[in-house]
Every structure is written in structure tokens, then in C-alpha cells.
Amino acid sequence: MESQVRGGTRWKRFAVVMVPSVAATAAIGVALAQGALAASFSVSGQSFKVTADRLDGTGFSQYGAIDSGYTLDGQKTAHPVAVSGFKSASIQNMCQSVVTPDIPLIGSVSLTLKAGGNGTPVQADNLYIDVANLDADATFRGLDIGVAVKDASKGPGMAKGEQANPFGFAQQADSVTLKNVKQTAWATTAGTFKLSGLKMSLSTGVKECY
């Protein structure tokens, strides 16, 4: 998940949420929707919210790490996170939102992405999510608790550049199902991310997924 130093962008900072909105162009949006590009995003100094009706993942691992980056005014910052890794994931009715406050002459601006509805889920491979808070109904299969991060073999492995102790505590599972997902995250990376029925919107004011 490349959780090393992130951020540093200024005006375009609010355009970096869960995948294609980085450039906000039709070409990149279409390429990501077709799974043609790897997806890596974070929001400079900000967390973002994600909801989903259901996430089915295989090859799961989770461990503690530190995300570092910069606030919107250029101050260095760090956040403890739980990194959730999946070799593959299928996500139904996904919504992601980030709010950038205090933009001159505008105020707050909300960016929202929705995908994976109408019976065609979002598909991701080698997915990492740096989670600050998670609320869901979870079912784990083949769960191992208390393995070292370096020995967690069921998931996609420790993310490249991750600021984590390889000898620290981790858990892993053959597969996991999360229902009624509400989470706050600081960053996400996926080897591929295919977004069916992608819809992106920008609006003034605070409009979040939950």
C-alpha cells in the first residue's frame, strides 16, 4: 500500500480519493473502470470515508503500521493504522467520499465516488486499505491470530515501503466477508481496481457516504 510519505499536493489535493478522480478526466476514469491501471490514492492530511453493502475477500491479512504525510497547510503528520490486505476482493455498492474544507471563495467541497451496484461488484487484486476505523459484520474463515507480520502467508504480504514492524502482531485468514461496511481510511492501493458503473460527483458543502 505504499504508506510511506504521502501528500504534498495543494489545490488538487481534494481530487485524490479512491481511484480515478486523481485527474478527473474521462480517459483515466474509463481506464480505471476497465481495470487498465493500478490504483493508488491517499488524501493529503485527510482521511476519507467508505461504505459498502458487502466485501468478499480471499487471502486476508491485517497488521499495524504508520501512515505519514502532510496536512493541507504543509505540516508533516503521522497516523497509526490497521492495514487490511486482500489478494482479491469483490465489493458490492461501494461509496467513497472526502471533504476538503476552507477552499477560498467556495468553502467545503465534497468528492464522492460510487461503483459496484446493479449486481456487478467492484473487483480488486492485491488490495491494501489503511484503516483508522471500521464498523461491519465480519465472518472470517481459516483465521490465524497472533502471527508475525513477516510470517503472514495467507494475504498479499507486507506492502512495499510500509512503515510497520515485520516482527509485530498480525492476523490472517483464508477468506473474509464484511457486511454493512462503514470505515474511515487514510490510504488505499490495489494492483488492479475494476469499477463497474462508476459515478463521480463534486459538490459544495459536506456530503459524505455516512
pLDDT (tens digit, 9 = 90+) per residue, 1-22? 433 334 433 334 433 333 333 3
- Condensed to tens digits (0 to 9), the pLDDT of residues 48-62 reads 999 999 999 999 999
Domain holding 147, by residue range, is: 11-200
Number of domains in the chain: 1
Q: Is 209 within the bounds of a domain?
A: no
Which has the closest alpha carbon to 121: 68, 194, 185, 190?
194
Rounded CA-CA distance 7/40 in Å is 12
Q: Is 210 within the bounds of a domain?
A: no
To the question of pTM greater than 0.85 for the whole model, the response is no
Q: Is 184 within the bounds of a domain?
A: yes
Q: Is 207 within the bounds of a domain?
A: no
Q: Is 185 within the bounds of a domain?
A: yes
CA 14, 18, 19, 25 torsion-angle sign: negative
- Return the pLDDT at 159: 85
CA 190, 38, 125, 4 torsion-angle sign: negative
> What confidence category does residue 87 fall into, taking pLDDT thresholds of 50, 70 and 90?
very high
- Return the pLDDT at 81: 93
Q: Is 3 within the bounds of a domain?
A: no
Q: Is 4 within the bounds of a domain?
A: no
Residues of the chain above pLDDT 70, percent: 77
Q: Is 6 within the bounds of a domain?
A: no
